[in-house]
């Protein structure tokens, strides 16, 4: 495998792309903040280490000059608008940088009355993809370093945003590794799949990074923290871990926007997005539901049709 | 530690024959938290109940489990007994060891083990149980009746006669509805207006009824016993308080050639008009679309001739808020039209009948008007195209109804009877005429109905042809009706002078919009859904809202009147108490943890969940949470299963109770 | 009548989550009709299938159920109008999820049993009991209950093996 | 002349220990990650990657039972865990940032209460440390007073040599005993050139000065600026070799259950949540402040040690890229300025 030969075109052909996006973000952010149209811009700032970026809650035009966009801008910033992060941002309108996958989360949050459209100003990024977790970031965005979710992204181009930034470079076709993995797992016997997930979940240490980065995990009291009654064991043993990941996937079914942040942040590399993807597939097949960049009034599990499939019911 | 009493019933031998009740009682005594256990021959008997009461008192019990028959049988009995002993009734539960155990298993060992398990599970449930108090809701003893047809009139009069206030809202300028349009009614052939108009007048004169005509429901808030209804009274352009109903304005109105809706467009009316002479109220309304004054600003004749000065061109819509405790929905029906429908409509028109372009193909209601003495022809049967008396009339049943390909699969119920009636009316008026009826089935259940139908066939000489009409077209001044006689097995072609179609009964236009305002459910045809097809045919699932008449589904007059009186009776039952008591098995929101995602609101079948703003002492908004109205909640618990953080909980079926039971499996 | 009772090596634990209006009443009818069915089932009553949280099913498996039955009113018969419609979607999704993590879905049965269908209740319960009996115990979740992270385990398989190789 | 062991013999040492019913724990692949795990054989040992989780779980498991209880016939019977069943253990292949942590933690686990779960495991284990030749731009062990070749905490210390052997230096009696018991696997010889130690990207920190600054800056805008973005997970704490907070939880029901001790973290909002609902650390930056304070001030106040080995795991794992090395550097600069 020659990493250089595989370098994908977005990085190698159009190096000015990221600079252009960065410039546009800075210009807009400075304008918004100096005109006091917003109280903060939630964006990305450069990290100390090579190929890293960190979320930035920018409140002054000076800070806004530091904002960037690069393949290191992996985070789904919509998290910072939820109740889980209450108190962090001042009250008032907030501008937020959002990739397509982040926008689906924002739309979901609007559908769930957590974010009001009029309270935010969305700067959508025409996004070519970002780095995967633990990837080698020194060579820029390559086929080896691109996140698995980005390989089969369908939302490179944001919709319904207040400002669209960037012109999408020509994107190469990449093999859908996640879909392949999903198909591989589907083809296994139940026993084999159980063994697979058992091994994955046994690594879990319940650091709850998956929960804490999820834009939809904004509950004040997570079911897994409840002790009267205890719905699932809070101790990080295999039994409780399995229950936790099953419950998590169920609670996200029909809500997940597919940003795959849960999977990215898992320090134990548990492929959590496979669970989310599998649920999304099911809901697409059964109810023709897909997470969208536009808010929907009800999700697939809060509505029904009288003639819904019931082939599994005797 | 709980102090629970377990009572194991023998039920004579019904339980003890297969279950070792002594052992079950003994094992129950070993369950942590059980302070007392015993077995007894008949727990439901007086001595059995006394045993329970005494045990509660003697042992200071804080919960009771009776292991006996199904709770569907005796839960009320034992809860009452527990209550008499000073326990909250909801801390008394039943373990079903008869229907679910002794009667369905033969092996004594297995059945006993299962009975013990059932006791163990249910003890956990009792342990985690909470005292619940019945919910009381105040009741505003005033009813709203929506719709002023026969259904609404009957319901309003019944409620008003019982001494309660009624607000009636009618969309049209006059009450009366479809029944007022009918010529005669089956099966007695008495004149519709003769029996209808006195009731209309009764409504107008009743001291307990407030009538709003030319008015619509704007908004409905609140819940059973406590609705706030906003009524939009449309601008009539005539001040009802001044108008004396003299009718001079109508005679002087220069705009006289407007097709009259009441006569199905076959008679003419003026721009300022009452729909029909017996209208209630007898106050004209200005049809602003057709009035020269409103269209060009020139005319104003009516205003000039009006002695009392009642005509008011400046009149505006007014909004009136009425607090009511119950709502009767009686919005009636409309008739299907064979006209071409929009592409995306689920209902199709009849291209094979010319989509309604052939003037002498009319519907049943038009025929009613032609046959009516007060109609456009003065009661003579004359066909629309040339005013000639038709000698050959073809009646077609099931046009639109029972026609899945046209989008309606139901039977409209009234057409068989009124078509029979039409053939008679025709025969009485045109003695040398011949009536033909194409029909699929003659459905005549009802008192005197089949006799009526037989009379049409056997005495009044109508020719009934069993089969459908496949095509109709104009040939000269005749309409060629092509059909089949399926009994004989031949194709039939009739040259008709007039064709009368019994078109399907459909829900009123806007029925769905009104349902959304009311928060009631409706089927795919927009007919309103009753709470239970058999046992709650009058109630809506939304508490405090009742149905009367054809808005629920096609109905004839006797059925409509029966249901209207039934709805009135339901309202009176509700109004019989000052406070409404409801089962406390309702959902409650934990506002500390609720994050206001409102998933519960989305799934609640009762619309019982509202948003509630929580503010701090300075009035700043802290957060928005869900809030369950206990007066409206039906207690299904779908909200709790949906809530990710379980911040809404159904009393009586809490997660704590259920988890404890699962833990004890 | 049934003098010869079959002895089984394994008696599965079957848990049934049922709604009170239809299936619970259907099971009552089976009782009043004196129909016979295996005694393995333990019934938990809910107001409506809409109240049944998927977590309950998961928990039942964790607490030792070998098979789980969820049963309520037929579509359109719900006492609460729409509870079972919501439940149907929820369970369709949850079933897919359990299947994906490797639970054998033969152990999880959903059914509509009305208050008039005592016979169907007997049929559904008997069928699930026999099916699960043939499948054997639900080991997966039970095994998990006893497992520890290696660092929390008092001894590891490797150690045990080492010990065994010595003695 | 030095004591040497070849890589083959190092693996044979693992085999021999396992055969001798010793629990041998070392870095081992598990899918895409390397974790400290029990080794079934020497061939499992992986020395080319820093494990994702630290070695602390050897003494301080992710989760362990501390007692069980059961009510029978009305009586509640409580059964303690038999700590004599903790196995003799050898930790092998731990770089200085991991090997050095247990000895830092000894202080707190034997402070006002002797936590026998920790201490018994400590008594029964031997640490074979190894000089670090890997490392990346998240590493900062030198900044906190350790070094890629620091022997602190190790009982026996290995230094990888060019050519594949290791120089062995017994640090404690335990280490010497291990050598003596398996003397056949070690040989005397001339040590070759060591493999180059890992690079350190940050400079040395003035830890006393940092502590001094922290003494006076419990309230400071710095906390908001660095930690408002913190999402409140426990990734940093759980994979940290020095974080040692735990929670105790009863699982089961009041009549039959187990009391368990498991990792907890100050990053969680529930960590300081009172039963009343009041939370003194009501916002995330206060929780993150505690992380810094505990590591560089409180622990030093109490035990004279810094609660950080500079392994850089938290920097690599933080979902939002919070970089403790950068923060320490910032504080260091502030401290130097006065």
Are residues A250 and C54, on separate chains, in Cβ contact within 8 Å?
yes
Of the candidates A9, A247, A227, A272, the residue with the CA atom closest to the CA atom of residue A133: A272
Per-residue pLDDT 10s for chain A (314 aa) are 344 444 444 444 466 889 999 999 999 999 999 999 999 999 999 999 989 999 999 999 999 999 999 999 999 999 999 988 887 888 899 999 999 999 999 999 999 999 999 999 999 999 999 999 988 888 788 888 999 999 999 999 999 999 999 988 888 889 999 999 999 999 999 999 999 999 999 999 999 999 999 999 999 999 999 888 888 888 899 999 999 999 999 999 999 999 999 999 999 999 999 999 999 999 999 999 999 999 999 999 999 998 999 999 99
pLDDT in tens, D180-205: 999 999 999 887 899 988 876 667 88
Which chain A residue shows the shortest CA-CA distance from B602? A302
pLDDT in tens, D13-45: 999 999 888 999 999 999 889 999 999 999 999
Reported for B350-353, long-range contacts at CB under 8 A and 24+ positions apart, including other chains, are B350/B399, B350/B400, B350/B406, B352/B470, B352/B471, B352/B472, B353/B399, B353/B469, B353/B471, B353/B472, B353/B501
Helix or strand run (H / E) with residue D240: none
Please give the structure tokens belonging to residue D248: 């105790």
Helix or strand run (H / E) with residue D287: helix D284-293
Calculate ∠ Cα A135-A140-A141, nearest 5°. 70
Domains defined along chain B, listed by start: 4-127 (3.40.50), 142-234+317-332+508-575 (3.50.50.60), 248-305 (no CATH), 335-506 (3.50.50.60), 583-663 (3.30.70.20)
Cβ neighbours of A215 in B, within 8 Å: none
Q: List the subunits that have 3+ CB pairs under 8 angstroms with C.
A: A, B, D
C1, C32, C82: residue with CB nearest B99 = C32
- For an interface test with A, the pick among D202, D235, D285 (most A C-beta atoms closer than 10 Å) comes out as D235
Residue B12: Cβ within 10 Å count: 10
Measure the N-to-C terminal CA separation of chain C; round to a whole number of Å: 56
- Smallest CA–CA distance, residue C101 to chain D, in Å, is 18
Are residues D254 and B32, on separate chains, in Cβ contact within 8 Å?
yes
Give D319 or D202, the one with higher predicted confidence. Answer: D319
Cβ neighbours of C111 in A, within 8 Å: 313-314
Give yes or no for D264 touching A (CB within 8 A).
no
The residue written with tokens 């940088």 in the block is: A97
Please give the structure tokens belonging to residue D232: 């409140």
Residue ranges of D 54-113 with Cβ closer than 8 A to chain A: 62-63
Which chain B residue shows the shortest CA-CA distance from A297? B602
Give yes or no for D263 touching A (CB within 8 A).
yes
Q: How far, in Å, CA of D171 to CA of D159, rounded?
A: 13
Are residues A231 and B595, on separate chains, in Cβ contact within 8 Å?
no
Are residues B99 and C27, on separate chains, in Cβ contact within 8 Å?
yes
- For an interface test with A, the pick among C102, C123, C156 (most A C-beta atoms closer than 10 Å) comes out as C102
Cβ neighbours of C59 in A, within 8 Å: 231-232, 243
B30, B592, B663: residue with CB nearest D73 = B30
Are residues D18 and C162, on separate chains, in Cβ contact within 8 Å?
yes
Rounded mean pLDDT, C42-60: 97
Are residues A278 and C147, on separate chains, in Cβ contact within 8 Å?
no
Q: How far, in Å, CA of B647 to CA of B596, rounded?
A: 10
Cβ neighbours of A228 in B, within 8 Å: 656
Please give the structure tokens belonging to residue B647: 């911040």
- Smallest CA–CA distance, residue C51 to chain A, in Å, is 14
pLDDT in tens, D62-106: 999 999 999 887 788 999 988 888 889 999 999 999 999 999 999
D145 lies in which domain range?
2-337
- For an interface test with D, the pick among C62, C144, C158 (most D C-beta atoms closer than 10 Å) comes out as C158
Calculate ∠ Cα A139-A143-A149, nearest 5°. 120
The pLDDT score that the predictor gives to residue B462 is 93
Give yes or no for B641 touching C (CB within 8 A).
yes
Are residues C155 and D85, on separate chains, in Cβ contact within 8 Å?
yes
pLDDT surpassing 90 at residue B271: yes
Are residues C39 and B101, on separate chains, in Cβ contact within 8 Å?
yes
Q: Are strands A120-125 and A94-98 parallel, antiparallel or unpaired?
A: parallel
- For an interface test with B, the pick among A85, A113, A297 (most B C-beta atoms closer than 10 Å) comes out as A113
The pLDDT score that the predictor gives to residue C159 is 59
Q: List the subunits that have 3+ CB pairs under 8 angstroms with D.
A: A, B, C
Cβ neighbours of C50 in B, within 8 Å: 603, 636-638, 641
Contact in structure between A121 and A67 (CB atoms under 8 Å): no
- C-alpha atoms less than 13 angstroms from C-alpha of B292 in its C-beta half-sphere: 12
Q: How far, in Å, CA of D153 to CA of D155, rounded?
A: 7
pLDDT in tens, B185-234: 999 999 998 999 999 999 999 999 999 999 999 999 888 899 999 999 99
The pLDDT score that the predictor gives to residue D338 is 66
Q: Is the dihedral of CA D7, D11, D12, D16 positive or negative?
A: positive
- For an interface test with D, the pick among C162, C164, C166 (most D C-beta atoms closer than 10 Å) comes out as C162
Phi-psi region for residue A266, left (φ > 0), alpha (ψ -120 to 50) or beta?
A: beta
Are residues C103 and A308, on separate chains, in Cβ contact within 8 Å?
no
- Contacts for B71 with CB less than 8 Å, ≥ 6 apart: B93, B94, B96, C45
Are residues B592 and D255, on separate chains, in Cβ contact within 8 Å?
no
CATH class of C14-166: alpha beta
- For an interface test with A, the pick among B644, B649, B659, B663 (most A C-beta atoms closer than 10 Å) comes out as B644
Whether cis (ω within 30° of 0) applies to the bond prior to B187 is yes
pLDDT in tens, B177-195: 999 999 999 999 999 989 9
Are residues D35 and A203, on separate chains, in Cβ contact within 8 Å?
yes
Q: Which residues lie across from B439 on neighbouring strands?
A: B466
The pLDDT score that the predictor gives to residue C161 is 62
Are residues A113 and B624, on separate chains, in Cβ contact within 8 Å?
yes
Which chain A residue shows the shortest CA-CA distance from B658? A229
pLDDT surpassing 90 at residue C146: no
Cβ neighbours of A279 in C, within 8 Å: 93, 96-97
C-alpha separations of D256 from B664, C2, D68 in Å: 10, 39, 8
Q: How far, in Å, CA of A224 to CA of A229, rounded?
A: 10
The tally of domains found in chain D comes to 1
- Contacts for A307 with CB less than 8 Å, ≥ 6 apart: none
D32, D229, D238: residue with CB nearest A205 = D238
pLDDT surpassing 60 at residue D167: yes
The pLDDT score that the predictor gives to residue C162 is 57
Are residues A265 and D319, on separate chains, in Cβ contact within 8 Å?
yes
Q: How far, in Å, CA of C89 to CA of C71, rounded?
A: 14
pLDDT surpassing 50 at residue B303: yes
Size of interface A-D (CB pairs under 8 A): 116
Q: How far, in Å, CA of A100 to CA of A90, rounded?
A: 25
Are residues B598 and A112, on separate chains, in Cβ contact within 8 Å?
yes
Interface predicted TM-score (ipTM) of this complex, two decimals: 0.91
Give yes or no for B608 touching C (CB within 8 A).
no
pLDDT in tens, B582-622: 889 999 999 999 999 999 999 998 889 999 999 999 999 99
- Smallest CA–CA distance, residue B412 to chain A, in Å, is 23
Cβ neighbours of B590 in D, within 8 Å: none
Contact in structure between B528 and B515 (CB atoms under 8 Å): yes
Q: How far, in Å, CA of B468 to CA of A209, rounded?
A: 70
Confidence grade of residue D135 (pLDDT, cut at 50, 70, 90): confident
Q: Reduced to 3 states, what is the DSSP secondary structure of residue B147? A: coil
C-alpha separations of B259 from B47, B213, B270, B389, D224 in Å: 78, 21, 9, 21, 76
Cβ neighbours of C24 in B, within 8 Å: 70, 72
Residue ranges of A 164-193 with Cβ closer than 8 A to chain C: 185-186, 188, 190-193
Which chain C residue shows the shortest CA-CA distance from A236? C149
pLDDT in tens, B624-664: 999 999 888 989 999 999 999 999 999 999 999 999 999 99
């Amino acid at each position: 495998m020659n990493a250089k030969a595989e370098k994908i075109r977005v990085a190698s052909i159009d190096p000015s792309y990221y600079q252009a996006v960065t410039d546009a973000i800075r210009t807009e952010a400075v304008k918004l903040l100096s005109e006091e149209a917003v109280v903060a811009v939630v964006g990305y700032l450069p990290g100390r280490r090579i190929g890293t970026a960190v979320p930035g809650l920018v409140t002054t035009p000076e800070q806004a000059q530091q904002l960037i966009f690069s393949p290191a801008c992996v985070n789904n910033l919509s998290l910072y608008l939820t109740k889980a992060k209450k108190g962090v941002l001042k009250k008032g309108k907030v501008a937020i940088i959002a990739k397509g996958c982040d926008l689906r989360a924002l739309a979901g949050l609007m559908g769930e009355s957590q974010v009001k459209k009029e309270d935010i100003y969305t700067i959508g990024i025409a996004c070519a993809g970002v780095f995967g977790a633990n990837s080698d970031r020194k060579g820029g965005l390559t086929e080896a370093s691109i996140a698995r979710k980005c390989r089969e992204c369908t939302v490179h181009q944001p919709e319904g945003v207040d400002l669209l930034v960037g012109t999408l470079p020509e994107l190469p076709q990449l093999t859908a590794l996640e879909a392949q993995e999903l198909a591989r797992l589907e083809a296994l016997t139940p026993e084999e799949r159980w063994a697979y997930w058992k091994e994955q979940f046994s690594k879990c240490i319940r650091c709850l990074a998956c929960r804490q980065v999820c834009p939809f995990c904004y509950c004040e009291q997570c079911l897994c923290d409840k002790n009267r009654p205890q719905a699932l064991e809070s101790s990080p043993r295999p039994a409780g871990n399995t229950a936790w990941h099953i419950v998590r996937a169920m609670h996200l079914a029909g809500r997940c926007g597919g940003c795959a942040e849960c999977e990215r942040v898992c320090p134990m590399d548990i492929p959590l997005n496979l669970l989310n993807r599998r649920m999304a597939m099911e809901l697409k097949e059964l109810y023709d539901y897909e997470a969208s960049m536009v808010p929907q009034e009800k999700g697939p599990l809060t509505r029904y049709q009288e003639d819904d499939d019931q082939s599994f019911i005797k | 530690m709980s102090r629970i009493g377990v009572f194991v019933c023998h039920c004579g031998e019904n339980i003890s024959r297969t279950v070792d009740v002594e052992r079950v009682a003994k094992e129950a005594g070993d369950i942590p938290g059980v302070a007392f256990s015993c077995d007894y021959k008949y727990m439901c008997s007086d001595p059995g109940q006394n045993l329970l009461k005494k045990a509660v008192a003697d042992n200071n019990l804080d919960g009771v489990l009776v292991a006996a028959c199904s709770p569907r049988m005796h839960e009320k009995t034992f809860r009452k007994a527990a209550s008499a002993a000073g326990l909250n009734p909801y801390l008394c539960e039943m373990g079903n060891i008869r229907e679910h155990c002794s009667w369905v298993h033969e092996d004594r060992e297995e059945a006993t083990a299962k009975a013990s398990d059932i006791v163990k599970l249910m003890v956990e449930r009792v342990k985690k149980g909470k005292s619940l108090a019945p919910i009381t809701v105040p009741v505003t003893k005033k009813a709203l009746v929506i719709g002023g047809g026969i259904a609404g009139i009957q319901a309003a009069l019944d409620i008003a006669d019982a001494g309660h206030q009624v607000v009636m809202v009618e969309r049209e300028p006059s009450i009366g509805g479809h029944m007022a349009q009918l010529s005669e009614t089956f099966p007695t052939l008495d004149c519709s207006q003769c029996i209808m108009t006195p009731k209309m007048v009764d409504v107008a004169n009743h001291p307990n009824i407030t009538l709003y005509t030319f008015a619509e429901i704007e908004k409905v808030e609140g819940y059973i016993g406590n609705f706030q209804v906003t009524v939009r009274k449309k601008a009539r352009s005539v001040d009802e308080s001044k108008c004396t109903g003299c009718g001079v304005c109508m005679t002087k109105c220069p705009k006289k050639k407007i097709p009259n809706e009441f006569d199905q467009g076959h008679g003419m009316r003026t721009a300022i008009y009452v729909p029909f002479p017996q209208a209630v109220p007898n106050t004209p309304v200005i049809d602003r679309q057709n009035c020269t004054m409103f269209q060009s600003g020139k005319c104003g004749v009516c205003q000039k001739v009006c002695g009392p000065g009642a005509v008011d061109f400046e009149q505006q819509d007014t909004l009136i808020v009425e607090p009511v405790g119950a709502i009767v929905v009686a919005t009636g029906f409309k008739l299907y039209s064979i006209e071409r429908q929009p592409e995306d409509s689920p209902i199709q028109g009849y291209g094979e009948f010319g989509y309604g372009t052939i003037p002498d193909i009319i519907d049943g209601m038009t025929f009613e008007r032609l046959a009516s003495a007060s109609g456009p022809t003065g009661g003579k049967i004359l066909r629309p195209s040339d005013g000639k008396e038709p000698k050959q009339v073809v009646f077609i049943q099931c046009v639109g109804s029972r026609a899945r390909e046209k989008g309606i699969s139901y039977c409209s119920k009234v057409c068989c009877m009124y078509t029979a009636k039409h053939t008679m009316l025709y025969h009485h008026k045109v003695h040398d005429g011949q009536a033909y009826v194409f029909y699929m089935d003659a459905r005549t259940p009802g008192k005197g109905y089949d006799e009526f139908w037989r009379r049409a066939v056997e005495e009044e000489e109508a020719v009934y042809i069993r089969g459908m009409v496949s095509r109709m077209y104009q040939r000269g001044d005749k309409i060629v009706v092509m059909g089949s006689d399926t009994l004989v097995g031949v194709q039939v072609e009739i040259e008709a002078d007039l064709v009368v179609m019994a078109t399907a009964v459909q829900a009123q236009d806007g029925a769905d919009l009104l349902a959304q305002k009311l928060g009631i459910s409706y089927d795919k045809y927009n007919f309103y859904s009753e709470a239970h097809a058999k046992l709650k045919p009058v109630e809506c699932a939304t508490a405090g809202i009742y149905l009367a008449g054809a808005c629920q589904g096609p109905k004839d007059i006797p059925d409509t009147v029966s249901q209207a009186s039934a709805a009135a009776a339901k309202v009176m039952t509700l109004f019989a108490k000052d406070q409404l008591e409801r089962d406390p098995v309702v959902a409650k929101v934990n506002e500390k943890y609720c994050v206001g995602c409102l998933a519960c609101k989305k799934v609640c079948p009762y619309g019982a969940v509202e948003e509630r703003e929580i503010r701090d002492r300075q009035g700043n908004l802290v957060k928005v949470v869900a809030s369950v109205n206990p007066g409206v909640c039906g207690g299904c618990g779908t909200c709790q299963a949906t809530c990710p953080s379980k911040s809404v909980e159904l009393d009586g079926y809490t997660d704590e109770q259920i988890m404890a039971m699962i833990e004890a499996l | 009548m049934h003098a010869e009772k079959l002895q089984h090596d394994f008696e599965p634990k079957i848990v049934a989550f049922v709604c009170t209006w239809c299936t619970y009443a259907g099971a009552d009818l089976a009782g009043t009709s004196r129909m016979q069915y295996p005694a393995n089932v333990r019934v938990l009553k809910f107001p409506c299938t809409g109240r049944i949280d998927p977590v309950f099913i998961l928990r039942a498996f964790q607490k030792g159920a070998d098979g789980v039955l969820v049963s309520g009113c037929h579509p359109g018969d719900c006492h609460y109008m729409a509870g079972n419609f919501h439940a149907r979607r929820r369970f369709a999704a949850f079933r897919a999820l359990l299947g994906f993590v490797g639970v054998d879905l033969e152990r999880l049965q959903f059914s509509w049993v009305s208050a008039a269908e005592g016979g169907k209740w007997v049929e559904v319960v008997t069928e699930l009991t026999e099916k699960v009996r043939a499948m054997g115990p639900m080991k997966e979740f039970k095994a998990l209950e006893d497992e520890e992270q290696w660092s929390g385990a008092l001894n590891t398989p490797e150690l045990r093996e080492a010990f065994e190789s010595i003695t | 002349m030095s004591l040497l062991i070849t890589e083959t013999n190092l693996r044979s040492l693992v085999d021999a220990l396992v055969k001798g019913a010793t629990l041998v724990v070392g870095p081992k692949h598990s899918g895409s990650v390397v974790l400290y795990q029990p080794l079934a054989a020497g061939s499992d040992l992986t020395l080319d990657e820093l494990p994702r989780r630290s070695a602390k779980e050897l003494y301080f498991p992710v989760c362990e039972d501390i007692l069980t209880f059961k009510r029978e016939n009305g009586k509640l019977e409580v059964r303690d865990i038999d700590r004599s069943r903790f196995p003799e253990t050898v930790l092998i292949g731990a770089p200085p940032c991991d090997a050095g942590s247990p000895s830092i933690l000894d202080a707190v686990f034997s402070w006002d209460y002797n936590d026998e779960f920790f201490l018994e495991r400590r008594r029964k284990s031997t640490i074979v440390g190894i000089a670090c030749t890997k490392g990346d731009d998240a590493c900062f062990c030198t900044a906190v007073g350790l070094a890629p070749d620091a022997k602190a905490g190790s009982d026996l210390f290995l230094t990888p040599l060019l050519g594949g052997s290791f120089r062995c230096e017994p640090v404690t009696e335990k280490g010497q005993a291990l050598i003596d018991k398996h003397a056949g696997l070690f040989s005397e010889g001339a040590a070759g050139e060591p493999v180059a130690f890992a690079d350190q990207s940050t400079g040395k920190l003035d830890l006393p000065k940092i502590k001094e600054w922290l003494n006076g800056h419990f309230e400071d805008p710095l906390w908001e600026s660095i930690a408002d973005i913190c999402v409140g997970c426990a990734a940093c704490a759980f994979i940290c070799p020095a974080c040692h907070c735990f929670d105790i939880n009863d699982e089961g029901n009041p009549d039959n259950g187990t009391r368990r001790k498991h990792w907890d973290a100050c990053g969680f909002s529930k960590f300081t949540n009172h039963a009343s609902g009041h939370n003194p650390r009501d916002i995330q930056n206060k929780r993150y402040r505690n992380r810094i304070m505990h590591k560089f001030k409180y622990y030093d106040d109490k035990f004279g040690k810094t609660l950080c080995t500079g392994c850089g795991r938290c920097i690599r794992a933080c979902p939002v890229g919070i970089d403790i090395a950068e923060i320490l550097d910032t504080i260091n600069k502030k401290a130097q300025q006065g």
